[in-house]
Chains A and B, each alone.
Chain A
């Protein structure tokens, strides 16, 4: 049971990097970046190729670079080429499929058995010590800590504040001396690199990269993000980041529990979709219920609207 819990924690931490990417693009920049799945796989592919070439550490920056390039393209499409932000994500995602297979040398599956990865390196380094069993967990935690703290630091800088403002009130940023296009490009590059890092780590962790490794990642990460937000509703960006990581771990935990209760593994994606639906539709309905709480029935609302219309009509007449 401990090891099952540990695996859950490890997987939760690894995918929390994608959640942090979405925290940046979705929560801060207010862009729904649909290229997440492709960028995730791209990170896995680039990382796997480097690991197989014998560069377990270079795998990490190469994966992040690949993800940043994918983010750059998505951003350029929507800022410089007049494409809708959702569509640009979809287009990049579709194109990424071919690119990813090309990165993997035309194959859709790369096996890293027996190769040194960051995980095996740390585990080997800890061999014999009492921490050996926790090697993978330590590695994953290290990356999450590094990314989480640098993101928290970044969001407090003026550049980070400009990025938050760009998502919060684009009109304001547009009329200020901040170049909103550059900010959007930067934000999507960073978030792409986080997503790819997440994919690279998952591939190294499971010692294989396949072309479908990132499928549905966007929804899974979004579900985690929304779960995290439920627990850390208020508070600054540091809490938001902690919430995103916690949400990712919790999501994995729910998933593991569901598996223990004999939910078939293929239900993961459905579960993530349902969580996203509940997390978004739930508050929406609560809001509606609250409005109804002011004891206004539909009929009364209609009447009020009618009288409002009459008021406007009489105003126009007098005018």
Chain B
């Protein structure tokens, strides 16, 4: 489904602030594969997701999605088939607009000049009811009044409204309280598996990195340093991940966030 062929990206090339953010990364994701991404801060995880979604052009290499070369496709065009969720729950929704307005915008229904119909409202109610957060009775309230968890759940619904070919999750539970984070992860798993969405999820929580999905990749210094799947991943524990990481980085300091799991 997703094919990254030798992609590289250097920021501020030729200056003292030169940063090689991605270096010769190749990654193939099969349809319906759920891959978790771990790595310390600055490893290039978010940069990888931004490169895939087209926030910036890459220096070399190519990106293929569902057999189509999207290396030079504009970000908003890619967004039609790529759903995204960010760490900041405020980023995925418009706060001054109501829940139904936000959903309608994401639904892309009835063309640009279409307006919300009763049928849309009914569908939205059903979708919101699945979240189990009581949002279906607050469809007219501005999204800004919702909690972080509720907003992230709504963002998730919006990002997957039309089953995307690829879902990019950038630590989308990191800013939530533990209960809300668990709920969102649960919903993510449910939606992703029900619709067989190909998914890349960055996480700092090593437990969920190993328990969610079917494959885990570890990044460091803009490279993929480990790619665990199958039996090898099944056996792996948080401890295995940390020792793998230390081995590769010659015992570099493992950040506190990597250990918090």
Which residues of A are in contact with B by a Cβ distance under 8 Å? 156-159, 161-162, 164-165, 168-169, 171-172, 174-180, 319
Contact = CB atoms under 8 A, between A and B. Distances in A.
A177 B77 contact: yes
Contact of B104 (A158, A168, A176, A179): A158
B107 to A, nearest CB: 8
A175 B91 contact: yes
Contact of B114 (A158, A165, A174, A176): A158
Query: By DSSP majority rule, is chain A's interface helix, strand, loop, or mixed?
Result: helix
Contacts of B53: 175
A171 B50 CA distance: 13
Interface residues of B, number: 32
A319 B104 contact: no
Contacts of B104: 158, 161
Interface stretch (B25-33, B92-100, B235-243): B92-100
Nearest to A153: B115
B75 A174 contact: yes
B108 A158 contact: yes
Q: Identify the interface centre among A156, A168, A177: most chain B CB within 10 Å of its CB.
A: A177
Nearest to B86: A175
Main secondary structure on B side of the interface with A: loop
B91 A171 contact: yes
B90 interface: yes
Nearest to B162: A177
B119 to A, nearest CB: 15
B92 A172 contact: yes
A169 B93 contact: yes
A114 to B, nearest CB: 42
Nearest to B140: A236
Given A159-B113, A161-B104, A172 B91 contact: yes
A183 to B, nearest CB: 10
A164 B76 contact: no
Contacts of B75: 174-175
A248 to B, nearest CB: 22
19 contacts: A157-B112, A157-B113, A157-B114, A158-B104, A158-B108, A159-B113, A162-B112, A164-B101, A169-B93, A169-B95, A172-B91, A172-B93, A175-B75, A175-B84, A175-B91, A176-B79, A177-B76, A178-B76, A178-B79
